[in-house]
Amino acid sequence: MYYIIQNNVFQNPRYDEIFKVLDELNLAYEQVAFNPNRNEFDVQTQRKDIFVYGSVKLAKVAAQNDWIPGSFYGKNHEFEQYAKGYGKNIINYGSYICNLTDKIDWSQNSTLFIKPSKDAKVFTGKIFNKSEWNDFVYEKLNDPNEQRVNAQTKIQVSMPYYLIKEARIWIIGKKVITSSYYRI
């Protein structure tokens, strides 16, 4: 397996640890500069057994290159798929999916957590009140430079949860293989 690591995506202070681990395990890799406004970047290998580590956009480009396994990104990593397995134990249980411009019911909550559903990076999910949400939608739809958000952009709407910690943990064969913390 060959690893392609995006060099300009994370602000994690431990980001460079991945290179120490790859070196210790004697795994082949290269670090690449990837401009999120383009769909191409230079790689030094012709191999197809490649795994990319970086932005969602990089994962999508990797899929276009027929690299195997490419990335963890895909339809199996969307809320609707996770909810089937985790049910009421999933964060944002009881949320619903709609289009950006669909009418949202604010009658039960003065604030709601709203995030993109299908393309997790088209905007940052956060807690909105009705006025903030309406302003946000208006700005996105009327920004001539906005190319990724439109009236049909799928969003997920949920009541806000108070989170103490948030982590993503990957378990394979009953063993934790990696984890990432998003909030501590």
The pTM of this model reads 0.68
Give the whole-number percent of the chain exceeding pLDDT 70: 92
Rg over alpha carbons for the chain, rounded to the nearest Å, is: 19
Q: Would you give the DSSP letter of residue 17?
A: H
Give the residue-averaged pLDDT of 30-39. 79
pLDDT tens digits along 122-148:
898 999 999 999 999 999 999 998 888
The predicted pLDDT at position 106 comes to 95
pLDDT tens digits along 64-118:
888 888 887 766 677 888 888 888 988 888 899 999 999 999 999 999 999 998 7
From the list 141, 182, 146, 151, the residue with the least C-alpha distance to 165 is 182
Give the residue-averaged pLDDT of 4-16. 75
